[in-house]
Structure 1
Amino acid sequence: MASRHHPENHLDISLNRPGALIAALPAVLGFTPESSLVLVTVAHGELGAVLRGDLSDQSPQRLCELAELAAASGADAAIAVIVDDEGAGCAMCADEHREATSTLGDELARVGVELMAAHVVPEVAAGARWYCVDGCGSSGVVDDPMASPTALAAVLDGRRLYARRDELLDVVATVDGRRTGALAAVIEQAAPPEAPRPDSQARHDIEHALECARRNEAGDTLSDDDLSRLAWALTDTRVRDTLYALAVGEAAGTAEALWAELSRTLPEPWRVEALVLLAFSAYVRGDGPLAGISLDAALRHAPHRMAGMLDRALQCGMRPEQIRELATTGYRLAAQLGVRLPPRRLFGRRVG
């Protein structure tokens, strides 16, 4: 599956300046791509969704998938960037790159998207030399990624940029397999009765989650009992749907830190709900990279209604402000349950 991220259209990236476009990729993707095929889409003359696939898996089926994702995002054109540190200067590899981009161009044309250009670069770093895949003779150097206007915008909006994709994946990776394995037994032993839970129990569980978020932010280690209660609480749709509202509240960062901690600590299947809460929170604040890897991790376990919906929205390039409207349901449920949530915060400029 190709990873996908959606930047804001207002970001100042010249589609006619390959050196600047390539330099912006780490800020858009959230990490510096290596051994990758990156497809930068264009919709109505503006930057659209940015799609990435592993260079080692560029079968016709994968290229078809990439083209269909581009079309689903509303793109009418695209630019391909191949990042290949070993094959950038290799004649045989150049033939492979030309074949792959030719196939990609055909697949894009099939779905009504024009492949405007295709570039090869050994690495996304200042001064690295790029050239066109088809041997047109055009070449140049990559601008400084850290000086990119896109990187500056991302940093100003509080997004962390990662040197490698593995570092981004570590945000949701299990940290201590032994503890997580032991925690599974604790959670199973604490299974609540199958009888319907009263609203008062859902209210107490939401308040407990809010308290755990505050304690986690303060550096306290949550006990197994806390984690077990949180795991089961997130299986209650009233609790879970209410907690989605925290993503648009003044304590959004505190809540997101708890979802990340639970994603790294809880065993499956309980971690899935934490991953989806993390994905929603990241999406709402415009962090497509974190939303994407969280959704990928959640959907690897089993189909999930909310995860599937967010994944489709991310693929289609739905804007963060449209996703924020889903939090309204959470505030309505909180009012019905008698829970006081942090007030909604105002969102300024958007980030992708």
Structure 2
Amino acid sequence: MHQTQARISLNGPTDLLTTVPLLLGFHPDHSLVIVGLIDGELQCTFRVDLPGSADHLEHLQDLTAQLSLNECNGSVVIVYGEAELAQAVAERAATRLVAAGMKPIDQLRVDGGRWFSLICGNACCPTGGLPLPETSAASCEVAVAGGYAAPDRSAIAAQLAPAPAGRRAAVARAVLAALMADAELDWVAQRDLDLQAIDHWMDAKLLPEPEAIAAVGLALGDLDIRDYALRRINSGRFEGNRVDLWLWVTRHLEDDLVAPAATVAGFAAYRFGNGVLALEAFELALRASPHYRLAQMLMAALQAGIPPGALSRIGCGDREEAEVNDGPTCPADAP
């Protein structure tokens, strides 16, 4: 399961259906998508895989708790797949949503480039469906704001694919050289260099080369430096939360260093509303380090449907005011 969150005004099924892939980050297939509404406005979007057949509906995940957590009072059910299974899935999902006080205002099916209403029997919704347009006013609005739909989920996972072997080897050599150099520095000097590296690369227009990747990767292994990076992401000052930077660093690191970087990348994606990319990053972190606690916590939050905005104090710990050495304040404390 994954979620996205946005507040968008919608004017009919085609607005919604053309926008959902941009909110999810990819074009769904064989999926149940539940759109949560607050007073008719889109609040959040959740997606899960369909069961293998209508005989296995007990495996269909119930998403009502996630919508309730986001304070939704309405919903739309969308099923991507063949007719018989879609009808059964929609009915089951709608029953649960009605019982939870979030009655669907529509139930839709998408298949083969066409969309179908599962509850409207009027001439406006022919049994053969209607062509699904490529864009709409709402989807253009989301695209302008930075929304992008990959062809499928595998294309999202590919964003975390390891960098070419030669570049990873260069980073590994730089890691060894940095460790030898670090041995000659005291803790305060090393901490200052690590903070400067985070600040520099979050502001930089270019992506780091191997020596700098090694420095950032090693720095994130310090929990204080990692949390400083999380606070910088939470500040909202950086375009796209610099997901590009954190993905780049993650892709170049070996397993012994990858968990902190992948977790930071996932956090940046989560805060930006890209739930599926966040999930892929957390899974990568936990494959490398199964007990990495922050990745475990953030994955649990994502799967529970906790809104990205609820993460605004992640990385702040017990801090009440400013970062040490006059760094940025935590978002909840900032003026």
TM-score by length of 2: 0.74
Pick one of 24, 30, 40 that aligns with 2:35: 40
Q: Which runs of 5+ in 2 are unaligned?
A: none
- Measure how far apart 1:201 and its partner are: 1.9
- Tell whether 2:266 aligns with 1:279: yes
What corresponds to 1:28 in structure 2?
23
Deviates more, 1:325-334 or 1:232-241: 325-334
Q: Deviations over 1:188-221 (max 9, x none)?
A: 8976899xx7233222122234445566x435x6
Cross-structure match for 1:100 = 89
Pick aligned residue for 1:260 from 243, 247, 251: 247
Give how far 1:227 is off: 3.4
Cα separation, 2, equivalents of 1:26 and 1:6:
13
Q: Give the Å deviation of 1:322.
A: 4.5
Q: 1:252 to 1:100 in 2, by over 3 A?
A: closer
Q: Which residue of 2 aligns with 1:244?
A: 230
Aligned length: 321
In structure 1, the residue matched to 2:221 is 235
1:55-92 Cα distance to aligned partner (Å, 9 max, x none): 355744542343443444434443221223xx3xxxxx
Q: What RMSD in Å do the two structures reach over aligned CA positions? A: 4.1
Letter in 2 for 1:34: D
TM-fit CA distance, 1:239: 0.7
1:198 aligns with 187
- Which amino acid is the alignment partner of residue 266 of structure 1? L
Describe the SS at the equivalent of 2:77: strand
Quick one: distance in 1 between partners of 2:329 and 2:140?
30
Task: Compute the displacement of 1:286 (Å).
Answer: 4.4
Does the residue aligned with 1:270 lie in a helix, a strand or coil?
helix
Q: Partner of 2:136 in structure 1?
A: 147
1:220-256, Cα deviation, whole Å (9 max, x unpaired): x622x44333333212111111112322264555843
Residue range with higher mean Cα deviation, 107-116 or 44-53: 107-116
Opposite residue 64 of structure 1, the aligned amino acid is Q
Q: Percent identity?
A: 20
Residue 218 in structure 1 maps to residue 210 in structure 2: no
Task: Report the Cα distance in structure 2 between the residues aligned to 1:304 and 1:7, rounded to whole angstroms.
Answer: 29
Q: Which amino acid aligns with 1:282?
A: A
Superposed, 1:1-352 pairs within 5 Å as 2-8=1-7, 11-14=8-11, 17-55=12-50, 59-84=56-81, 87=82, 94-108=83-97, 111=100, 113-123=102-112, 128-132=114-118, 136=121, 138-139=125-126, 141=130, 144-149=133-138, 151-176=139-164, 180=168, 198-212=187-201, 217-218=205-206, 222-223=209-210, 225-247=211-233, 248=235, 250-251=237-238, 255-299=242-286, 302-314=290-302, 320-326=308-314, 335-336=323-324, 338=325
2:63 aligned partner, one-letter code: L
Q: Distance in 2 between matches of 1:174 and 1:268?
A: 11
Q: For the Cα contact (< 8 Å) 1:40–1:47, is it kept in 2?
A: yes
TM-score of the aligned structures, taking structure 1 as reference length = 0.71
**Pairwise CA distance, 1:327:** 6.3
Distance 1:249 1:24, change over 3 A: closer
